Structure 1
Amino acid sequence: MKIVASSDWRDAIPFDTLVLVADIVPGEPTRCFTCGADSEPRERTELWAFKHRHPKNHDGYVRFYCAEHRPEIPRPTAAASLAPARATGRPASRPAAERRVSKPTIPDRVRAMCPNCFVEISATGECGMCGWAA
Structure 2
Amino acid sequence: MQIRTSSDWRDALPFDTPVRADEAMPGEPARCAACPVDEPARDRADLWAVKLRHPNNPAGFVRLYCGIHRPLPRRMTPEPEGRARRQRSAAPRKPAAPSIPERPAVLCPDCFIEVPPSGLCGMCGQQVG
For normalisation by structure 2, the TM-score amounts to 0.53
Q: Distance in 1 between matches of 2:73 and 2:24?
A: 19
- Post-superposition offset of 1:24: 1.1
Distance 2:74 2:15 in 1: 11
Aligned match of 2:40: 40
Partner of residue 7, structure 2: 7
- Residues 40-49 or 3-12, more deviating: 3-12
Tell me the distance in 2 between the aligned counterparts of 1:10 and 1:49: 10
Does the 8 A contact of 2:31 with 2:41 survive in 1?
Answer: yes
Q: What is the deviation of 1:32?
A: 0.5
Question: Residue 29 of structure 2 aligns with which residue?
Answer: 29
- Find the aligned partners of 1:36 and 1:8 in 2 and give their Cα distance: 29
Matched residue, 1:20? 20
**Over aligned residue pairs, what C-alpha RMSD do you find?**
2.3
RCO higher in 1 or 2 (8 Å CA, sep ≥ 6)?
A: 1
5+ residue gaps, structure 2: 89-129
- How far 1:36 moved relative to its partner? 4.2
Secondary structure at 1:40 match in 2: coil
Kindly state the Cα deviation for residue 17 of structure 1 after the two structures are TM-superposed.
Answer: 0.6
Give 2:122's aligned residue: none
Q: CA deviation at 1:75?
A: 3.0
* Structure 1: gaps of 5 or more residues: 84-134
Alignment of 1:61-72 (within 5 A): 61-72=61-72
Amino acid paired to 1:56: N
More helix by share: 2
State the TM-score, normalized to the length of structure 1. Answer: 0.51
Bigger-Rg structure (1/2):
2
Provide the rounded CA distance (Å) in 1 between the counterparts of 2:8 and 2:54. Answer: 17
**Count of residues paired in the alignment:** 78
Q: Distance in 2 between matches of 1:52 and 1:4?
A: 17
Q: How far apart in 2 are the matches of 1:60 and 1:21? A: 16
Percent identity (aligned): 53
The residue type paired with residue 61 of structure 1 is F
